[in-house]
Structure 1
Amino acid sequence: MAELTPAQIAGLKLARDGDLYPQAAGKWTHENATVTYAKTDRWKERPQKIKTVTAKTLVDLCEHGFVERRNLTDDGTTDTYGITMGGKIWLLQNK
């Protein structure tokens, strides 16, 4: 069983929600990610931070086999990544 850091677990959960696309400054997040607002805020809407994964965390998840490239283009820095069945099973076993 692979031991993951909290940042890797957060990245795996983010990949579970959808494919990860490259963004600026070596970050990866969902395609067309925008700032969202808290619906439960009583007084005013507060912006919620866009969740991202660093390139290093993404490489670590690929080495464990929990995330894989989708399109297999020539350059891995511009390709999309998605969660594998192994990643989904790891999340189910380690909530």
Structure 2
Amino acid sequence: MSLDAEATKVAAGAGLNGQAPRCDHIDLLSAVEPGKRECQECLAAGRAWARLLVCLSCGWVACSDAEGGHARAHYWETDHPVVASMEPGSTWRWCYVHRRTV
């Protein structure tokens, strides 16, 4: 823990004016080829999905929390931290470790 000019506690790596620290997980990612545009777990259960996410560590494709949460389950199983939306043109990414968009 570091101190700011007024000797108040500031979390290491915190951004300016209370901004969240930069997510270093995105720096560790390499290019991945996404799998099929389907959630294998939902297919096996006979369920539909509306939003698919791709794991940016390995390319695994699964549904979002709104459908079945299979992308989050993949994170819990593998510790792969960042997913992205499979929607065309989207730049949305989520870090499960920091629990925020990155």
Larger Rg belongs to: 2
Q: Which has the higher contact order (CA 8 A, sep 6+)?
A: 1
| TM-score, reference length from structure 1 | 0.21
Which is helix-richer, 1 or 2? 1
